[in-house]
Amino acid sequence: MEAFLVSITTISVAEIGDRTQLLSLLLAARYRRPWPIIAGILCATLANHALAGILGVWFGSLLKPRTLEVIVGISMIAMAIWTLKPDKLDENAGAAGAMGAFLATLTSFFIAEIGDKTQIATLALAAAYPSLLAVVAGTTAGMMLANVPVVFLGKAFASRLPLKAIHIAAALLFIVLGLIFLARAYWSS
């Protein structure tokens, strides 16, 4: 349960203002069809985070537990720094031509998530926790919590969020998680 709760909390907060959330806004404005967009976000996130999680489990199996705790702790602190840098979306990122809302969302969301901080956090969490299913379910649920309101409420919702404060809160969350992992590594010796 800890893996799920840490994953959902970390990702839902870190996703606010992220480029994939901006992409959700762009897709909602372009297609005005929330359900296919939400389905595309869900499918793309499940596929992307499952792959990141599998890679994380493999990576975690190569390391001693203490080394893994240190790497995850340091990566969470690095994520805190990355979170403070606001994302911007390329104007052409949402262009999908004649494809429907679902396929446009599925492909653009999957591609935008490659190398994104939420994907890297998923990899790190999967390396740290024994339950791949709990991590992927948590990170996917976190993505949905952050993106579904944007799809439904669009620009009115996005313009009212205190993004700077949310980025600071997300960075603090990553720092706390990083320090917890580092403390566990220190006390496990």
Tens digits of per-residue pLDDT, 80-104? 787 677 655 444 444 443 358 899 8
| Cα–Cα dist 25/53, whole Å | 26
- Residue 49 or residue 77, greater confidence: 49
Token reading at 11? 């990702």
Exposure on the CB side of residue 177, measured as CA atoms within 13 A: 29
Q: Total structural domains in the chain? A: 1
Region at 115 (left for phi over 0; alpha for psi -120 to 50; beta for the rest) = left
Q: What is the pLDDT of residue 129?
A: 94
| Cα–Cα dist 48/67, whole Å | 26
- Residue 117 or residue 134, greater confidence: 134
- Residue 103 or residue 174, greater confidence: 103
Tens digits of per-residue pLDDT, 110-128? 988 888 888 989 999 999 9
Instruction: Show the domain range for 53.
Output: 2-187
